[in-house]
Amino acid sequence: MTSFIDIPSGSDFPIQNLPYGVFVPPGSDRPRPGTAIGTMVVDLCALEAEGLLETDVFQTSTLNQFMESGRPTWTLVRTSLQALLSGEDPRLKEDAALRRRTLHRQQDVRMVLPASIGDYTDFYSSREHATNVGTMFRDPENALPPNWLHLPVGYHGRASSVVVSGTEVRRPNGQTKPGEGPPIFGPSRLLDFELELGFFTGPGNGLGNPIPISQARDHIFGFVLVNDWSARDIQKWEYVPLGPFLAKNFATSISPWIVTLDALEPFRCAGPHQHDPEPLPYLQSKRDSSWDIGLEVAIQPPERDEEEIVCRSNFRHMYWNVCQQLAHHTVGGCNTNPGDLMASGTISGPDKGSFGSMLEITWRGQHPVKMFDGSERKFIQDGDTVIVRGAAEKDGLRIGFGEVRGKVLPAHSV
């Protein structure tokens, strides 16, 4: 399928993708739902008002209502958009005035959070990452916690500090304990990124009514890139006994475009074997419940246009898949709502080049990364911009996520 809209070679957003986001058009202050194709944004609110989508879910400033509508509506909208943008349905292609009202250049719009996020959960689902962290901080012979191979470990994060790509991130203050003496207060010195992929929930489940793993896919609206910023020194001191707190709640950056499961269907693949031990029955899923999505992280130093790629990884490395995560999250009766965000946890592969955090890449700062300008990085410095990108590619088809970027500002004086 091709579009009458020009799509540059190698674009993240061909007509086979059509991710969803929320944008503010030029000369307006009202956010509205849209989709991306090539270098353009298509105004879904305007298309719906013209009667071209046969829906009533886009006259809002978020995607929550669309998320809640469920898979039949998601399929209807995708099919209608592909028909309109290919010219098979000629109403958009042949109406120049309508195109002027509904098509905007991406460089001219401002992207905002795609949903009103009521709850945010972060998992810990990469075996390689969990093993690396356990080796560094616990017993190398028993790096994984006893529960790790039996359930998707996670914690409830801070929804209010989830921010869209381009939002600057302030280095957090907190308590750290650098040696044998008492704790001290001040800016985190070990600020880190975490390479993650997150999914937004669609239709929710009622309190006390779990989502069976066989139905989990129908409750997953789509994926975004996630950088779950972490203050490692604050985390080390505070996390016992209840887990992350100030080390995680200051910012979580996400990409603005949500890529749907339908767009990623050609890239489904098997995840790691889960046979020793086998998951309990409520967590047993099909092997092809992962996706072959390439990911990378780059650091751009202050006042420079060049960047250093410090990580290349892949979502297929994740041990616990998203269906298992959602089934486990709700099995005790927890309710979810449209627009809830759930992140994968750090995505690390089997070798150093695929580790998804500076903590692992530099092995607690022992092996600094050498940058193109001759400087070194043990962790993220003030003024650095961290950029996460991702795309699935096969047989000439590229389904991309765009990017999520965030520049680090110095900590506030307290």
**Rounded to whole angstroms, how far apart are CA atoms 112 and 24?**
7
Q: State the Cα angle at 129 between 128 and 131, rounded to 5°.
A: 65
Cα torsion through 396, 295, 127, 204, rounded to 10: -90
- Using DSSP bridges, classify how beta strands 252-254 and 162-164 pair: parallel, antiparallel or unpaired: parallel
**Rounded to whole angstroms, how far apart are CA atoms 318 and 292?**
10
Determine which helix (DSSP H) or strand (DSSP E) holds 361, and give its type and residue range. helix 358-361
**Rounded to whole angstroms, how far apart are CA atoms 359 and 378?**
8
For the chain, state the CA radius of gyration. Answer: 21
- Reported for 372-379, long-range contacts at CB under 8 A and 24+ positions apart, including other chains, are 372/306, 372/308, 373/301, 373/304, 373/306, 375/301, 377/299, 377/310, 378/190, 379/189, 379/190, 379/191, 379/192, 379/232
**Rounded to whole angstroms, how far apart are CA atoms 291 and 391?**
11
The amino acid at 327: A
Cα→Cα distances 87→81, 228, 263, 356, 412, Å:
10, 40, 19, 41, 53
Nearest to 292 by CA among 217, 399, 196: 399
**Rounded to whole angstroms, how far apart are CA atoms 372 and 105?**
33
- Alpha helices (runs of H) in 19-158, residue ranges in sequence order: 44-49, 64-69, 71-86, 96-102, 127-137
Which candidate in 129, 219, 317, 329 is catalytic?
A: 129
> Is 129 labeled as catalytic in the residue annotation?
yes
**Rounded to whole angstroms, how far apart are CA atoms 391 and 414?**
41
Torsion angles phi and psi, residue 20, rounded to 5: -115, 145
How many CB atoms lie under 10 A from the CB of residue 393? 14
The residue whose two tokens read 């978020």 is 62
Catalytic residue set: 129
